[in-house]
Amino acid sequence: MKHLLKIITLIVTTIFLAQSVSGYDPSKHQKGKGGKSGGKGHHSYGRHKGPPADIPAHIKERTSPDGKGINLNNSQIGVKGMAIMAKTPELKNVVSMALKGNKLGDEGVRIMTQSSNFKNLEFLSLWDNGISSSGVKMLARGANFNNLKELNLMKNNIGDDEVILLVDSSNLSHLTSLDLSVNKISDKGALAIATSPYLSNLKSLDLFNNQISLKGLKAILQSKTLINLEELDVVKNKIDDKSADKLWKSHMDSCRALRENSNPNKGRLPICPN
């Protein structure tokens, strides 16, 4: 496990290298400097006791000058606020939305699905918004979500059924970063991720604090579709140190064998060092 933890430590402390959008760095809303603590980072403003008194003014204040990025982390704007955003002309070109802790629920996702304001979305954080099966279904099927590059669904009501629905969607075909941490995903969900035909561009996968065992981790490491995966966080799952260490050593042996084989048809594996 110590070898695996070395990789994970690098993952957790890595600064994502996504290109910023007109001065707004969409990747930084994924996690604060405190890792999974949800503490104050570049795009966390501390928790309010309730929604802003003037929601439209608050939305305007948190929108980048060019209208392409909006950071409403912990603003608690709720469904009412999302309805306002959906009708705000200044957001017609929005590309990146950080919406952690806004009590949006599935209804908030429905509003996003129906507004033309969100047709250009590439970076979306819905961390801690009470999103369940209905919301995930809309994310998987909604036309506004077919250009997503980063999707953060940390700390929602997501289990295996929701993961299966999500990763069976072509909306994820451009995705490079997927955060499903602090949910209720087991080996069934991990297997769905490992076999999804739509995640071949994925570089970062966060499964921190779920219910995945060695079986699920093995499926991901041996995936034939997650060939571009570089970062994986499986800390705080049902994986014992001894078994994980053995699996990691075996995976590294497979990586070396692939590197030494000159046959390009042998394929690639996730998280193989250069």
Domain 2-9+64-266, CATH among 3.40.50.720, 3.80.10.10, 3.40.50.1220, 3.30.565.10: 3.80.10.10
pLDDT tens series, the chain, 274 aa: 545 544 443 443 332 222 222 233 444 334 443 345 433 333 344 455 688 999 999 999 999 999 999 999 999 999 999 999 999 999 999 999 999 999 999 999 999 999 999 999 999 999 999 999 999 999 999 999 999 999 999 999 999 999 999 999 999 999 999 999 999 999 999 999 999 999 999 999 999 999 999 999 999 999 999 999 999 999 999 999 999 999 999 999 999 998 888 666 568 999 998 7
DSSP labels for 3-64? Answer: HHHHHHHHHHHPPP-PPPBTTB-GGGGS-BTTBTT----TT-----SSS-SSHHHHHHHTB-
Tokens 């995936």 belong to residue = 223
| Residue 218, helix vs strand vs coil | helix
Q: What predicted TM-score, i.e. pTM, was given to this entire model?
A: 0.85
Angle in degrees, CA 119, 124, 129, rounded to 5: 115
Domain boundaries, the chain: 2-9+64-266
As a whole number of angstroms, the distance between CA 129 and CA 109 comes to 10
Largest CA distance in the chain: 64
